[in-house]
Structure 1
Amino acid sequence: MSSVQPPVVQLVQAGFAYEDGPPVFDGIDFAVPEGRAMALLGRNGSGKTTLMRLLSGGLQCRSGALRLAGEEVAYDRRGLTRLRTTVQLVLQDPDDQLFAASVGQDVSFGPLNLGLPEDEVRLRVREALEALDITALEDRPTHLLSYGQRKRAAIAGAVAMRPRVLILDEPTAGLDPHGQERLLEVLGRLRDTGTTVVMATHDVDLALRWADDAAVLSPTGLRTGPIEELLADDALLAAARLRRPWGMAVTRLLREQGLLPEDVPGPRTAEELDAWAETAQGTHRPTG
């Protein structure tokens, strides 16, 4: 008997088209394995948002199936409740999700809808606010939040559902560099506590730095695999209209110049390049 566990959520030969439109997907297979961080990449109009909505139950497959832990999802109240307690989607614009008067009320909405006891709802709200580092904002009116605070409040609402898979649509869009770093720290903590995170992004540098795997949508279809492998494929990047990540370009140059052995990982950020340069200088510094 095989001990291999099925993916947490999986599209199997899934097809979808909007009304009176051409097919967006036709027989697509896509699996989200547990415990991995995945970047979903593709040009505008490639189908990223549609794919995320299919995975989270916001859209229903016209053909094929959506499976949760190996079982086909039924699009009735019971089936969708089971899906949405496992998979949560956070939209790009937090104002599309925030609607309650205060942060605490907004974060509590999902758990309350599950019919959980009041003590359990309070516990989940507190945990979510702590996870997103916004405990001090619990009583703050949502309309008085900064853009970055609204982003984190929207994610907290999803985290309060304790999903196994958290899907984020361009979560760093509109954030300044400091805000991006704070959000990435939050996502790192969520990963460390067992949440599988899927992030749709246009930022290939961010994807290379952050993700384990990539899913790349192009006119030729969907490809998934280790992120370093996919983002080193120039033909795939061209088809998807994505540029080569900065870190991979630097690594390729260092290897061509004989400065970086093939078995040594290349720098993914400017900070890693600085650290590598200091180490290299120390290694080759004259001792006489």
Structure 2
Amino acid sequence: MSESTGPALVALRGASFAYEEGPDVFAGLDFEVREGRALALLGRNGGGKTTLMRLLSGGLRPQAGTLTAEGVPVAYDRKGLTRLRTTVQLVVQDPDDQLFAASVGQDVSFGPLNLGLSDAEVRSRVAEALAALDITGLADRPTHLLSYGQRKRAAIAGAVAMRPRLLILDEPTAGLDPDGQERLLATLDRLRAGGTTVVMATHDVDLALRWSDDAALLTTAGVHTGPAAPTLARTDLLRRAGLRLPWGVAAAGLLRARGMLAESATGPRTPEELAALTG
């Protein structure tokens, strides 16, 4: 997708945050999420990914600086946070930390009900979210009887039912088998096609290269954001973020060295693309 030229969906300006009696996690951080850009957020464990996601979604409040949503500073009162959560939804890594109702349908309906919507509107949103995550048939299933992959989808459906413009996912493919990962990525593609901007925190540099438009690398020196392929080819940044070089970037370098790929050409992001280049 092309770069958005409008205001950022959400942005942190000069944001600082530290946990009680701990060092600064961020100091003077500037970070933004642009509409329509699939963004992968990467960094080492303890590097601040979870803190950043919670700052963006209003779960944490910066101790200095501001959070804006669509250019408007966020107010950390009930009204302001409700407004933010109709724009931004965060889905945590472990679905068991998010699911709590007796059935899938009840869990997905919780957010819309708290918005004070009519029963008809709540039912419509629940049906829409279940269909988007391909779990309509699980509406009456007890959440404790779901498989891990089903619980992941149910947790995401609860966020989708809020119809956010920005969906932030913490390690959404972790713990899924290859088929489950592919199904989830196809679901995310459908959500994006419907106008939802997606941010994904992940340790998987190969997934980030394949899936994202932009990559944000968290290092001890701050955060560097740019187009995915060139950003994930920066060995200096990857080293500081505790990450390895994606195989697709390494393969592109080898192909260029052997004259099989033009310098200006896009390198392979999947095994299928590599086979097409070398076949």
- Normalising by the smaller structure, the TM-score range is over 0.9
State the 1:264 CA deviation: 2.2
Q: What does the per-residue CA deviation read over 1:16-71, in whole Å, with 9 as the maximum and x for residues that have no partner?
A: 00111111000000000001100000000100000000000000010000001111
Are 2:119 and 1:118 equivalent residues in the alignment? yes
Question: Which runs of structure 2 are paired with 1:49-64 in the superposition (5 Å)?
Answer: 49-64=50-65
* Range 257-266 or range 224-233, more displaced: 257-266
Distance 1:275 1:129 in 2: 36
Structure 1 counterpart of 2:84: 83
Query: Does the residue aligned with 2:273 lie in a helix, a strand or coil?
Result: helix
The number of equivalent residue pairs is 276
Letter in 1 for 2:83: R
Distance 1:228 1:274 in 2: 19
Distance 2:5 2:212 in 1: 23
| TM-score (structure 2 length as normaliser) | 0.98
Query: Does the residue aligned with 2:108 lie in a helix, a strand or coil?
Result: helix
Query: Does the residue aligned with 2:123 lie in a helix, a strand or coil?
Result: helix
Distance 1:187 1:44 in 2: 24
Query: Does the residue aligned with 1:262 lie in a helix, a strand or coil?
Result: coil
Question: Which runs of structure 2 are paired with 1:266-277 in the superposition (5 Å)?
Answer: 266-277=267-278
Are 2:143 and 1:133 equivalent residues in the alignment? no
State the 1:269 CA deviation: 1.2
Structure 2 counterpart of 1:218: 219
Distance 2:278 2:23 in 1: 51
Question: Which runs of structure 2 are paired with 1:19-168 in the superposition (5 Å)?
Answer: 19-168=20-169
Instruction: For structure 1, list consecutive stretches of 5 or more residues without a partner in the other structure.
Output: 279-288
Letter in 1 for 2:142: P
Distance 2:7 2:271 in 1: 38
Distance 1:267 1:227 in 2: 13
State the 1:259 CA deviation: 1.1
Distance 2:243 2:94 in 1: 23
- RMSD value over aligned CA atoms? 1.0
Q: What does the per-residue CA deviation read over 1:75-103, in whole Å, with 9 as the maximum and x for residues that have no partner?
A: 00000000001000000000000000000
| TM-score (structure 1 length as normaliser) | 0.94
Query: Does the residue aligned with 2:126 lie in a helix, a strand or coil?
Result: helix
Q: What does the per-residue CA deviation read over 1:207-256, in whole Å, with 9 as the maximum and x for residues that have no partner?
A: 00000001110011111111111111111111111100010000000001
Distance 2:261 2:18 in 1: 47
Instruction: For structure 2, list consecutive stretches of 5 or more residues without a partner in the other structure.
Output: none
Distance 1:266 1:68 in 2: 35
Structure 1 counterpart of 2:250: 249
Query: Does the residue aligned with 2:141 lie in a helix, a strand or coil?
Result: coil
Letter in 2 for 1:151: K
State the 1:275 CA deviation: 2.1
Distance 2:55 2:6 in 1: 22
State, as a whole percentage, how many aligned pairs show the same letter: 72
Distance 2:130 2:149 in 1: 14
Letter in 1 for 2:46: G
State the 1:175 CA deviation: 0.4
Distance 2:276 2:143 in 1: 41
Q: What does the per-residue CA deviation read over 1:88-140, in whole Å, with 9 as the maximum and x for residues that have no partner?
A: 00000000000000000000000000000000000000010010000010010
Structure 2 counterpart of 1:8: 9
State the 1:191 CA deviation: 0.5
Letter in 1 for 2:99: L
Letter in 1 for 2:273: E
Query: Does the residue aligned with 1:241 lie in a helix, a strand or coil?
Result: coil
Structure 2 counterpart of 1:258: 259
State the 1:267 CA deviation: 1.1
Q: What does the per-residue CA deviation read over 1:149-190, in whole Å, with 9 as the maximum and x for residues that have no partner?
A: 000000000000000000000000000111000000000000
Structure with max Cα Rg:
1
Distance 1:70 1:45 in 2: 29
Query: Does the residue aligned with 2:84 lie in a helix, a strand or coil?
Result: helix
Query: Does the residue aligned with 2:250 lie in a helix, a strand or coil?
Result: helix
Distance 1:261 1:112 in 2: 54
Letter in 1 for 2:178: P
